[in-house]
Amino acid sequence: MGTKAVEILGVDAKKLIETLNKALADEWLAYYQYWVGAAVVQGPMRGAVAGELTQHAEEELGHAEMLVERIIQLGGTPLLTPQDWYKMTNCGYEAPTDPYVAVILDQNVKGEQCAIETYRAMMAFTKDGDPVTYNMALEILEDEIEHEEDLQAFVEDLETLKKRR
């Protein structure tokens, strides 16, 4: 833990660590949803979509690493068991039981929209009292906004494909 880092906090440390751990749960579930979605996806443009899903999976894992680093700086304990992912998540998990590309894209768009809400709320909570977490949340938010658009671009292409046939 960084003692000075904790001392300068202008927000409740316990509440902040819980907020970070809840986002950590989301990131792990998002990681797996993308990773396994890339493995099973079927339908038009499956190669391009699988590539994008795999890239997003890696980026969600990067977000998890950023969150864990901040939790440790603040003297917190990152979630230690996968059971906690389900208990703590804001955004949940949507199993890709239907591997059709449009269904998987919709599930992941929903996840990104929830992630955008989560980081926007984290920014609101830290805006005045914790510029370090605020900046981190902003950096992650920018990625989640990019993710949403990447997925919605594929949804648009699928719609175009349908209309042109």
Q: Which is nearer to Mg ion, 27 or 150 (CB)?
A: 150
Given Mg ion, Fe ion, none, residue 63, with its beta carbon under 5 to 8 Å by kind, binds Fe ion
- Which one of residues 22, 107, 137, 147 is an interface residue with Fe ion (CB under 5 A)? 147
Distance in Å, CB of 58 to Fe ion, minimum: 11
Window 1-30: residues binding Fe ion (CB under 5 A): 27
Q: Is 129 helix (H, G, I), strand (E, B) or coil?
A: coil
Distance in Å, CB of 4 to Fe ion, minimum: 28
- Which one of residues 21, 50, 53, 60 is an interface residue with Fe ion (CB under 5 A)? 60
DSSP assignment string, 61-127: HHHHHHHHHHHHHTT-----SHHHHHHH-SS------S-BHHHHHHHHHHHHHHHHHHHHHHHHHHT
Distance in Å, CB of 117 to Mg ion, minimum: 19
Distance in Å, CB of 162 to Fe ion, minimum: 26
Burial (CB < 10 A; 0-12, 13-18, 19+), residue 130, is: buried
Q: Which is nearer to Fe ion, 114 or 132 (CB)?
A: 114
150 binds Mg ion (CB under 5 A): yes
**Cβ–Cβ < 8 Å for 126, 137:** yes
**Cβ–Cβ < 8 Å for 29, 91:** yes
70 binds Fe ion (CB under 5 A): no
Rg, C-alpha atoms of the chain: 17
